[in-house]
Amino acid sequence: MNTRYTASHWGAYELDGKDGIKPVADDPAPSRIGRGWFSAARDWASRIKSPVVRRGWLDGDGGDKRCEDSFVEISWGEAADLVSREIVRVGQQFGNDAIFGGSYGWSSAGRFHHAQSQLRRFLNLAGGCVTSRETYSHAAAEVLFPHVIGFTNRAFQDQMTSLSLVEENCDYLLSFGGIGERTAQISSAGVTRHGIGETLTRLQERGVAVICISPQGSDMPGASWLSIRPGTDTALLLALSFEIVNAGAADEAFLKKYTSGWPEWRAYLLGETDGVPKSANWAADICDIPAEQILSIARNLVSHRSMVSMNWGLQRADHGEQVIWAALGLACIVGQIGRAGTGFAFGYGSINHVGTSSKLIAWPSVPQGRNPVSDFIPVARLADMLLSPGGSYQYNGEKRHYPDIRLVYWCGGNPFHHVQDLNRLEVAWQRPETVVIQDHSWTSTARRADIVLPATTPFERTDLMMNRRDPSLFLMSPAHEPFGEARDDFEIFREIAEKMGFEEAFTESRDANDWLHHLWARAQGVAQETGFALPPFEEFANTGRFDVPETDEGRIAFKAFVSDPEGAPLSTESGKITLHNKAIAAAGIEGCPGHPTWIPPLESLLDARSDELHLISGQPDTRLHSQNDRGSEALSDKIQDREPAYLHPKAAEERGLAEGDVIRLWNERGACLAGLRLEPLMRPDCISLATGAWFDPQFIDGERLEVHGNPNVLTIDKGCSDLSQGNMAHTALVRVEKWTKPLPPLSIGRPPVIERREESNLKGQMR
């Protein structure tokens, strides 16, 4: 029998009848996340079995019970009816700009059954919706880069200097936030090989000096670790820049030829504009790194073939724009941009494919059509939008107004995991008249919906893994029947479209199988243009896998520009890298001056109480965000059912805490429980609690306490500046103490209360 495959954002797998899945043989280091996938998808207790509608919504309540209500089971016909009527009602009464279809979220790999694409295609045909811009991953970079380097973040990522060239040519790798196997497990749309571990080993074998600047030494095992006070990297970068200039070692020729605004930035570095020279001595106290060490890094950067690399996490912070801009500025002063393996990189290790050099192939996707509604919000401004309809805000130099949203439709994302300050979102979430959620599981978001529609997982459908950055294509085959009455997102939208009278426009008269053939035929065309042939669909379906013929030449960021700055100028205001940007400066943007600048963060250890800790809430090792939290791998990592929080043994001792304790973390925004794990590679004034434990707030002794370990009850919901409005998840202070009261059992992991109900009774109650 031929091998059958499936695929995910964390790896490609053979389906094997007995144990479910096994990683493809050519993956050198299969992801840990995969170990929890099969069990999470089959955790029947947390799967949604049938369409349901919230009891209070049927009774016409205002949405304030949207987190504790019971649900009523309905048929698919009723569900499609309800949803179609709501969309029509809201569209007619308020216009389609009262419908929010931003629906940010990772959903699952697979080209056709991509949840957000299906939703957008559907809503666009239904008259359109308000959408969201940028990502939670790197909004600050997405908005800043076009101004300062003239590339979108995506275009910059596509040309990122190959790690293979770093291995061969770089002698000094200065890494901010580390380059780690934990986050490189993942790539959006699917990944076949996990090779970052091999890369790091080869760097070590070649004797490359690798420095990891991070509050957590575990971010890059094997590197020399410099423990920085979180949120202060911009000061360090300015000091490195200053000291190189001060030593007369700046590459003035590079700065003149390839940058604009150097004189203005230089004046700031030297303290001519504000009286504060950004020296190593100045930065040492801010960053908690000795001045001699800063001086030594400055010398090493210019005396070696060096690379300044920064992960994405650093800019998910207050003034996140400054830190990437300062790193870019430092790399310009060093002057090694545009050469093999040196210069500036953003995102190595943050995700699997950054720095790999597979051919980029623009595989076809489900066409989303045109959205008749032009309004959007910056993705992280969800709660602001719901809380202040009509309110004004600044974004990228523009004054904008929030729409008045009446209907929220989310498919393939989990805002009650990903948004900062979830207690605030809980209030905002009461505002819309109707919330529709499509998911396969009873996530915290699904529990806060009015109409919940059960979707299938990739184990229950056929799809194509085609990632434009990955060299392997897979036919994803089903492993078992759909759970309960779950349907593919496509099929859910098809039936609603039928009720709304545009089924044919939505399906183009194709069923799911026809669509796979159709996408494959288009992919064959794309392959042909790229210079190779894809087999006929039937042949591909038989083998289940196709490997694109590879030509690994390695990529060099800014190569064209550096070799010919006049012939291939950047599309910035000067055609060069802007170290002082006139447009940004002139716009007078709150939190984002015209050049990289040190601005103390809203919350930081610099002005903390002595018992406060800085909270790092990065990506979990055992799952993808909140996905697979009910799977065996995530569950086996928990401590007394709580998400583990990592603390230095000394900090634990000072607070009378021991490994395995349940602790309470709190600040003015909220409180949560977690399980304590001791970690000597943590800064003693930091605590690390990964994102994604399913949000489980309960009232305990009059306090609203998240009992599972979701850090987003503690984080700040504010844009990192008025430029990008990106999230600042990594900027927060907390306090911790031992939890001595009885341990509250979790309420997630099983369905909410669901009444069975007769079809006939329901009809009269519809709005």
Ligand X SMILES: Nc1nc2c(c(=O)[nH]1)N[C@H]1C(S)=C(S)[C@@H](COP(=O)(O)OP(=O)(O)OC[C@H]3O[C@@H](n4cnc5c(=O)[nH]c(N)nc54)[C@H](O)[C@@H]3O)O[C@H]1N2
The catalytic site residues sit at: 104, 106
Q: What would the DSSP string read from start to end of 728-751?
A: -TT--EEEEEE--SPPPPP-TTS-
CA contacts within 13 A on the Cβ side of 178:
23
Residue with tokens 């099983």: 750
Residue pair 556/161 in contact (Cβ under 8 Å)? The answer is yes
Segment interacting with Mo ion (CB under 5 A) among 131-139, 375-383, 397-405, 731-739: 131-139
Q: Which amino acid is at 474?
A: F
What span, in angstroms and rounded, lies between the C-alpha atoms of 384 and 718? 9
Residue type, 441: S
Backbone phi, psi, residue 399, to 5°: -95, 125
CA distance 195 to 301: 27
Q: For ligand X, which residue of 139, 173, 244, 314 counts as binding (CB under 6 A)?
A: 314
User: Which residue, 132 or 232, is less far from Mo ion as judged by CB?
Assistant: 132
Q: Shortest approach of ligand X to residue 765 CB, angstroms?
A: 26
SS3 138: coil
| Candidate ranges 192-200, 312-320, 558-566, 747-755; the one touching ligand X (CB under 6 A) | 312-320
Which CB sits closer to ligand X, 102 or 711?
711
Compare residues 472 and 712 and give the one whose CB is closer to ligand X: 712
Q: For residues 698 and 708, what is the distance between their CA atoms, to the nearest angstrom?
A: 10
Taking the least distance from each CB to Mo ion, the nearer of 86 and 219 is 219
Residues in 93-112 that interact with ligand X by CB under 6 A = 105-108
Cα–Cα distance between 246 and 581 in angstroms, integer? Answer: 23
DSSP conformational letter for 567: T
- Look at the alpha carbons of 732, 737, 741, 742 in this order and tell me if their dihedral is positive or negative: positive
# of chain residues touching ligand X (CB under 6 A): 61
Residue selected from 137, 192, 350, 731 as contacting Mo ion according to rule CB under 5 A:
137
Applying CB under 6 A, the span of 357-365, 538-546, 566-574, 709-717 interacting with ligand X comes to: 709-717
Question: CB-wise, 117 or 619, nearer to Mo ion?
Answer: 619
Closest CA to 94 of 432, 427, 379, 383: 432
Candidates 266, 236, 264, 237; CA nearest to 251 is: 266
Name the one range near Mo ion by CB under 5 A: 133-141, 176-184, 382-390, 536-544: 133-141
From residue 285, how far is each of 228, 281, 294 by CA, in Å? 11, 7, 12
Residue with tokens 């844009």: 719
Query: C-beta of 438: minimal distance to ligand X in Å?
Result: 4
For residues 433-492, which are near ligand X according to CB under 6 A?
438-441, 443, 455, 489
- Distance between CA atoms of 547 and 553, rounded to whole angstroms? 18
CA–CA separation, 122 vs 368, rounded Å?
8
> What character string, x for contact with ligand X (CB under 6 A) and - otherwise, covers 126-155?
----------xx------------------
Contact flag: residue 174 with ligand X (CB under 6 A): no
> How many residues are present in the chain?
767
Residue with tokens 């008249």: 433
Q: Nearer to ligand X by C-beta: 48 or 340?
A: 48
> What radius of gyration, in Å, describes the C-alpha atoms of the chain?
26
Q: Which does 116 bind (CB under 5 to 8 A by kind): ligand X, Mo ion, none?
A: none
Sort residue 171 into left (φ over 0), alpha (ψ -120 to 50) or beta. Answer: alpha
Kindly tell me which residue out of 103, 132, 183, 260 binds ligand X, with binding defined by CB under 6 A. Answer: 183
Backbone angles phi, psi at 273, to 5 degrees: -95, -30
Residues 439-468 that bind Mo ion (CB under 5 A): none
Residue 626 CB, nearest approach to ligand X (Å): 3
Any bridge partners for residue 22, and if so which? 14
Spatial CA neighbour of 481 closest among 460, 502, 456: 460
Binding mask 335-364 for ligand X (x = CB under 6 A): ---------------xx-------------
Minimum CB separation of residue 431 from ligand X in Å reads: 20
Please, which residue, 136 or 156, has the CB nearer to Mo ion? 136
C-beta closer to ligand X: residue 183 or 357 = 183
Binding segment toward ligand X, per CB under 6 A, in 21-29, 69-77, 230-238, 382-390: 230-238
The one among 113, 424, 630, 664 contacting ligand X by CB under 6 A: 113
Of 136-144, 212-220, 643-651, 710-718, the segment contacting Mo ion by CB under 5 A is 136-144
- 627 touching ligand X, by CB under 6 A: yes
Task: Please report which helix (H) or strand (E) contains residue 302, including its range.
Answer: helix 291-303
What span, in angstroms and rounded, lies between the C-alpha atoms of 434 and 88?
A: 12
Residue nearest to ligand X (CB): 618
Question: Contact at 8 Å (CB) between 187 and 170?
Answer: no
The residue from 8, 153, 157, 414 that contacts ligand X (CB under 6 A) is 414
Least CB distance to ligand X at residue 312 (A): 4
Cα separation of the two ends of the chain = 53
Count of residues engaged in binding Mo ion, rule: CB under 5 A: 2
Phi, psi of 73 (to 5 degrees): -75, 140
Q: Which of 161, 394, 619, 725 binds ligand X (CB under 6 A)?
A: 619
Residue 304's binding partner, choosing from Mo ion, ligand X, none, with beta-carbon cut-off 5 to 8 A by kind?
A: none
Write down the least CB distance from residue 292 to ligand X, Å: 19
Stretch that binds ligand X, among 85-93, 166-174, 410-418, 667-675 (CB under 6 A): 410-418
625 binds ligand X (CB under 6 A): yes
At 591, list the tokens.
Answer: 């939190």
Contact 682, 736 (CB under 8 A): no
Residues numbered 205-224 forming contacts with ligand X, rule: CB under 6 A: 213-216, 219
Q: What does 241 bind: Mo ion, ligand X, none (CB cut-off 5 to 8 Å by kind)? A: none
Q: List residues near ligand X by CB under 6 A.
A: 33, 105-108, 113, 115, 136-137, 176-177, 182-183, 185-186, 213-216, 219, 228, 230-231, 233, 311-314, 316-317, 350-351, 411-414, 417-418, 438-441, 443, 455, 489, 616-621, 624-627, 691, 711-712, 715, 729-730
Q: List residues near Mo ion by CB under 5 A.
A: 136-137
